[in-house]
Structure 1
Amino acid sequence: MTRPQKEHLLLNLLLAGALVAAGWFFLRVALPGLLPFLLGLGLAVLIHPIACWMAKRGVRRRPAALLACLFFYLGIGGALWAVGWLACSQAVSLFSHLPQLWEETALALGAWLERVSRFLPRLFPIPTGQLMETLTQAGMSCLGSLSAAAMDGIAHLAAALPSAALALVLTLLSSVLITLDYNQVTGFLVSHLPRPVGEALLGSKRFLLGSMLRLCRAYFLILLLTFLELAAGLWLLGVDYFLAMAALIAALDILPVLGSGAVLLPWAAIELLLGRPSLGAGLAALWGVITLVRNVAEPRIVGQQLGLHPVATVTAMYMGLHLAGFLGMIAAPLLAMLAVFLIREGYLPTPPGKDRSPSP
């Protein structure tokens, strides 16, 4: 490594350290107070193309901005209402069948415990009654701990509701105000930045909007693949309403915190307890197939849509999931692709003697 390359590497390391320190300060100190306004700016960026489309068709600029905000939030509100109504109706239907389901489960569990009580003395020298009492006490203790944790979580949620409601109102209000004067607000922000930084931000905005559309397309393909797997598997297992069940489970499978296992595994356990081992084993096997296909196909599909190599995609997704959960898993491939874009366009420095066309 030559002396200019060493100096360039040292400068990049110092710059990276300064950026990490500034990012930590921003995330821990400035971001909580600025978050509603930053979210409002992000929403305004999404709403602005709708307002421009309406303005090109004869609507004046400010009324077009107001109508765009109205249609945007009506669309989001309608979608949330539809999802909430479906969830509530399904919950009501489930609760109406809970007594029958509980009775069947209790009978099956009692029969299973009776078989276990006849088998346990061969394995454990202690009396079966004492062992069952110990297991019952452990279960009640676990249930009490879960209830206490749930009540504590509900209390924290109730305490956070006022500040969350205020932040939501400020986010919506700031998005409307920024959309009304979008060009002035964004022009003011960009004019107070160094010219290269402003050009990089504008280029990054255009790039990220296109990348987000491609990312949505990728996860739609993953959702469709999971739905087809579920529909075929549930149909082969003879499950009633297999299309509706497949759609519900596929929607949950997008969320890594829940996933298809949140439905299929408890369902399989209940079927085993109810004395239907073939259906229970089939549901467990279906979950295994879906998980395997998802883990193999997701990096490839997302990488193809974003132009990233599957190794880079799965690395970015794992790091994002580890650092920031589900949102981090979604955002990390976009950030990786943004870094490639900034290097390719010359917004980020490269070592001397290297070209600006890194392979993604």
Structure 2
Amino acid sequence: MLSFYRKYWRTAFDIALIVLTVYLIMFAFSYLYQIATPIFLSFFIFMFIEPPARWLTKLGIKKSISAGISVLVFTLIIVGAFVGAGYIMTAQITGLAENLPQYQKLFTEQFQQNSAYLQEKIKGVPDNVLENAYAAVSYITDWFQKIAASFLKSLGGYLMSFSTFIFNFSIGIILAYFLSLEINEWKTTAQEKTPKTFKKAFFFLKDNVFSGIAVYLKAQMKLISITFVVIFIALLLLGVDNAFSISLLSAVFDVLPLLGVGTVFIPWIIYLFIVGQTTLAIWLSALFLFVVLTRQILEPKITGDTLGVSAFTMLAFMIISLSLFGIAGVILSPILMILIKALYDQRYFHRWIRPPKGEYEVTGE
């Protein structure tokens, strides 16, 4: 054991320093995000308002006026759509959560009826087996109903607690307007005052991380939008209640790797088969397969080159980041994962981490 520590302590120390650095970056970002949320939102808003403002400026309109027009149009479109969607989804999600106990009761009763039918057909089934099955199904459905209701009510609560976000978003719009007016001055100051080491780090991030993330996010937004529209139209045609909230939930789960829309559709389809709504279950199964196949066909064409990070690794890191740092961790975790992958590809880790002596053949850089 002592020889093991002697051989690996340097490697473990180097890895621990990298892990500590990542943790401190996440911690600092989450803290700054909590105390300066409008500033981070302003950078996000700036990315949308600056291209139209720049175009209007080229037409001869004063920058302050062109930025104001861009901000006004952005505010009317985004805030109007967001508030409307939030109101609809809040009402539908709250109603869906309130109806879950009724669905759970219907599921249990249907299972008992089917079991009684099977008992008549198969006389050899002992009574205690069916009683244990009733108890197990009742326990599982009750547990799932409580979890689902808690999740939906929490989601509805987040949507209803809109005032804080609206306040931060409003401040972010104002900051983005001033940033649009002063962006050239900030660029000049950054070029003159930033040390070379930080410039080198920035250009490394720009070339290897930010550009890839921007392309990936645009592609994912297109895929999510297609998923939402297809499911929403199909549910409306099928006459399903709460079509908007179900479509939006499916789109949210579609963002997550490994999970996808099956997180919503598979339990729903199983439930419909058990309670006897076979026709709707078949239509939803066809819709689910169509959405999955469509995404599999379109994703390579829209996304293009992948980011090089596996879906399992990305999801695991996002879950850990969410548990440790909240929403800020989820925002930063994809950037850090892609950065770590870029550092590995550029062989920076080979220079920073000293391998244990005698374990690997040393090759030239």
TM-score for both structures, normalised by structure 2: 0.59
1:72-221 paired onto structure 2 within 5 Å? 72-81=74-83, 83-84=85-86, 91=92, 113-117=112-116, 119=118, 123-126=125-128, 142=143, 149=150, 153=154, 163-188=164-189, 191-198=192-199, 200-201=201-202, 204-205=205-206, 210-219=211-220
Q: Is the aligned partner of 1:322 residue 2:322?
A: no
What is the CA-CA distance between 1:55 and the residue it aligns to?
0.9
Residue identity opposite 1:75 in structure 2: I
Give the stretch that moved more between structures: 170-179 or 153-162. 153-162
Residue identity opposite 1:275 in structure 2: G
Gaps of 5+ in 1: 1-8, 355-360
Q: 1:48 aligns with which of 50, 54, 57?
A: 50
Query: Any conservation in 2 of the 1:44–1:178 contact (CA below 8 Å)?
Result: yes
Report the CA distance shift for 1:337/1:163 in structure 2 as closer, same or farther (over 3 A): closer
What is the CA-CA distance between 1:56 and the residue it aligns to?
1.0
Query: Any conservation in 2 of the 1:320–1:330 contact (CA below 8 Å)?
Result: no
In 2: Cα distance, 1:341 partner to 1:154 partner: 35
Residue identity opposite 1:181 in structure 2: E
State the Cα deviation string for residues 312-357 of structure 1 (Å, max 9, x = none). Answer: 34355334433346997887665555567779999x7974953xxx
In 2: Cα distance, 1:148 partner to 1:274 partner: 20
What is the CA-CA distance between 1:259 and the residue it aligns to?
4.2
Residue identity opposite 1:271 in structure 2: L
Gaps of 5+ in 2: 1-10, 352-362
Query: Which one scores higher on RCO, CA 8 angstroms, separation ≥ 6?
Result: 2
Q: Is the aligned partner of 1:62 residue 2:64?
A: yes
State the Cα deviation string for residues 255-289 of structure 1 (Å, max 9, x = none). Answer: 43984235533542453245354653564476468
Residue identity opposite 2:76 in structure 1: L
Q: 2:36 aligns with which of 12, 34, 37?
A: 34
Query: Any conservation in 2 of the 1:268–1:284 contact (CA below 8 Å)?
Result: yes
Residue identity opposite 1:304 in structure 2: G
Report the CA distance shift for 1:284/1:78 in structure 2 as closer, same or farther (over 3 A): same
In 2: Cα distance, 1:226 partner to 1:151 partner: 21
Give the aligned partner of residue 3 of structure 1.
none
Residue identity opposite 2:195 in structure 1: P
What is the CA-CA distance between 1:241 and the residue it aligns to?
7.5
Give the stretch that moved more between structures: 218-227 or 32-41. 218-227
Aligned-residue RMSD, C-alpha? 5.8
- Secondary structure at the counterpart of residue 254 of structure 1: helix
In 2: Cα distance, 1:131 partner to 1:204 partner: 58
In 2: Cα distance, 1:17 partner to 1:143 partner: 36
Q: Is the aligned partner of 1:20 residue 2:19?
A: no
What is the CA-CA distance between 1:37 and the residue it aligns to?
1.4
What is the CA-CA distance between 1:297 and the residue it aligns to?
6.9
Residue identity opposite 2:115 in structure 1: V
Query: Any conservation in 1 of the 2:209–2:342 contact (CA below 8 Å)?
Result: no
- Secondary structure at the counterpart of residue 172 of structure 2: helix
Query: Any conservation in 1 of the 2:269–2:281 contact (CA below 8 Å)?
Result: yes
Equivalent pairs counted in the alignment come to 327
What is the CA-CA distance between 1:26 and the residue it aligns to?
0.9
What is the CA-CA distance between 1:60 and the residue it aligns to?
0.9
Residue identity opposite 1:117 in structure 2: A
Report the CA distance shift for 1:224/1:154 in structure 2 as closer, same or farther (over 3 A): closer
In 2: Cα distance, 1:180 partner to 1:67 partner: 13
Give the aligned partner of residue 262 of structure 2.
261
Give the stretch that moved more between structures: 71-80 or 328-337. 328-337
What is the CA-CA distance between 1:61 and the residue it aligns to?
1.5
In 1: Cα distance, 2:16 partner to 2:276 partner: 65
TM-score for both structures, normalised by structure 1: 0.60
Give the aligned partner of residue 358 of structure 1.
none
Identity of aligned pairs, percent? 16
In 2: Cα distance, 1:297 partner to 1:330 partner: 28
In 2: Cα distance, 1:110 partner to 1:61 partner: 67
In 2: Cα distance, 1:50 partner to 1:207 partner: 27
What is the CA-CA distance between 1:160 and the residue it aligns to?
6.7
State the Cα deviation string for residues 31-89 of structure 1 (Å, max 9, x = none). Answer: 42133213323432443232222111111112222222222222322432564577589
In 1: Cα distance, 2:175 partner to 2:305 partner: 32
Report the CA distance shift for 1:205/1:36 in structure 2 as closer, same or farther (over 3 A): farther
Report the CA distance shift for 1:26/1:281 in structure 2 as closer, same or farther (over 3 A): same
- Secondary structure at the counterpart of residue 181 of structure 1: helix
Give the aligned partner of residue 4 of structure 2.
none
Query: Any conservation in 2 of the 1:321–1:327 contact (CA below 8 Å)?
Result: no
